[in-house]
Structure 1
Amino acid sequence: MSNSRKRPKIKILKTGSEWIWDIIGYSFYFGSLIFLVYNWNELPNEVPAHYNALGEIDRWGSKMELFILPIIGAFIALLMQLFERFPELHNYPERLNEENAKEFYLIIRKIVNQSKNICLIIFALILIESVSIALGLGNGFGGWFLPIVLLSTFIPIVLGIIKQTKIR
């Protein structure tokens, strides 16, 4: 069943955990936008624009650059929302069939949902920290930020793949 056109299209209601992830992710996203707009007039002309792997600022830029993260976040959210909506288009093992399709679809949809919302949270935290540093309130991320970002993005994927291997 490698051809996605032969895969069943199944309407699966959004689960409680997906709703919770969406509420958290979008709350962070919109909260960071509100934080940016609220503090806009207080921001200096130069703000942190990039961080190195240790979480240290390695480039300063115009405060207009602060809108890059929300724009990328919105693009990722829209794109991943499409991926959530059409799980039958994803790549699956050959053992996918009519009986187990719902299980496969739900797992992949949850992976995409969690990944989307984790990205929104990460971008929101970077935006909030950049504004805070520019206002003299923040210290930067430190070396812990990158490992946490990597773990938080890979854990849902790995757990989802493990769950998929148990589907018969």
Structure 2
Amino acid sequence: MDKYSYNKPKLDIPKSALQRLFDVVSIIAFMAGTVYLISVWNQLPDQVPAHYNAAGEVNRWGSKWELVILPIIAVLMAVFFTFLEKHPEWHNYMNLNRNNIEFQYKNSILFLNVIKNECVLLFVYLSFNIAQVALGKAESLGILFLPIFLVIMFGSIAFFIIRSIKHK
């Protein structure tokens, strides 16, 4: 076994232009979503959608203060994933060796960046939709929300796993 299998070196890998673009898009969307929530806060009823079923229909209502949790979770996840992006030597790899280590690190960093930003955008969308339903401007998330979300998330995961396997 190669020494890289157990002792992963720390490499200085800067963010790519694509990663920086994803981050900027998510930050702008997060800020816009937060501004939107603040702007409609006084118009929101005391009870807002708090949970949706698989068909995208509201199946629990809760306090509008529960809406504050979504941006907090998005920020905490973004901070955690950003931290992990900076430490690819801590990630798990299959068949890591000196010939593929840089590619595998870059792949893992990009994977985390994509998942992080997809999650932030998800929380922004959920916050927006909850406000829209509470204000009577929408009825639900819609029947296609869950399938689309799952295809995007699992599609991203599958893409990066396959990409990693191909470069062993």
Q: Deviations over 1:89-109 (max 9, x none)?
A: 11111x312332110000011
Unaligned runs of 5+ in 1: none
- For the 8 Å contact 2:5–2:97, the answer to whether it is kept is no
Using the alignment, how far apart are the partners of 2:68 and 2:79 within structure 1? 17
Partner of 1:62: 63
Partner of 1:34: 35
Corresponding letter in the other structure for 1:135: L
SS of the residue 1:31 aligns to: helix
- Aligned-pair CA distance for 1:139: 2.2
- Aligned-pair CA distance for 1:112: 0.5
Aligned residues: 165
Moved over 3 A (4+): none
Q: What RMSD, in angstroms, separates the aligned Cα atoms of the two structures?
A: 1.2
Corresponding letter in the other structure for 1:66: L
Partner of 1:79: 80
Using the alignment, how far apart are the partners of 2:71 and 2:136 within structure 1? 22
Partner of 1:145: 145
Using the alignment, how far apart are the partners of 1:106 and 1:156 within structure 2? 15
SS of the residue 2:136 aligns to: coil
SS of the residue 1:138 aligns to: coil
Using the alignment, how far apart are the partners of 1:22 and 1:30 within structure 2? 12
- Aligned-pair CA distance for 1:60: 0.8
- Aligned-pair CA distance for 1:2: 3.6
Q: What is the TM-score when the length of structure 1 is the normalising length?
A: 0.93
Structure 2 matches for 1:7-156, cutoff 5 A?
Answer: 7-93=8-94, 95-156=95-156
Q: What is the TM-score when the length of structure 2 is the normalising length?
A: 0.93
